[in-house]
Amino acid sequence: VSHPRLCRPVDGPHGAPPVPHYAPAHAPAPDAPVDDAPADNAPQESALQRERRWREMARGALETFVTRIDANRDDGDFEELFFALDVCRGAYP
């Protein structure tokens, strides 16, 4: 028997094949710290983090749109669209 919680088998009575003994499931101590803190305890998002997050969302939406309409960077009709995409990528301050 293959099991991740399997301990060393013990011989059964009268030469019977070994009987596996299973280890109990791990339970954390009652006073152990919680693995994940509540959302209220999360640090506040800085202005730079917020700006980067919004730029990434806009970049993703613009890239999806550019792919969907099969726009070409060399086409003058889409110049502003590609400028906005470059701004989202951080090419312009």
**Host domain of residue 77:** 46-93
Contact 21, 7 (CB under 8 A): yes
Rounded Cα–Cα distance for residues 17 and 14 (Å): 9
Question: φ, ψ for residue 6 (rounded to 5)?
Answer: -80, 130
Q: Please state the rounded mean pLDDT for residues 61-87.
A: 91
pLDDT tens digits along 2-57: 555 554 455 555 555 666 666 667 777 777 776 776 778 778 889 999 999 999 99
- In this predicted model, what pLDDT tens digit does every residue of 70-82 receive, in sequence order? 999 898 899 999 9
16 found inside a domain: no
Residue given tokens 């013990």 in the structure block: 10
At 6, the amino acid letter reads: L
34 part of a folded domain: no
pLDDT band at 64 (very low <50, low <70, confident <90, very high): very high
SS3 85: helix
* 6 within domain boundaries: no
User: Does a structural domain hold residue 62?
Assistant: yes
Domain membership flag for residue 20: no
Is residue 81, in this structure, part of any structural domain at all?
Answer: yes
What's the whole-model pTM score? 0.50
Q: Count structural domains, the chain.
A: 1
Number of H helices, E strands in the chain: 2, 0
Owner of token pair 């309409």: 69
Task: Report the length, in residues, of the chain.
Answer: 93
21 lies in a domain?
Answer: no
Question: 23 lies in a domain?
Answer: no
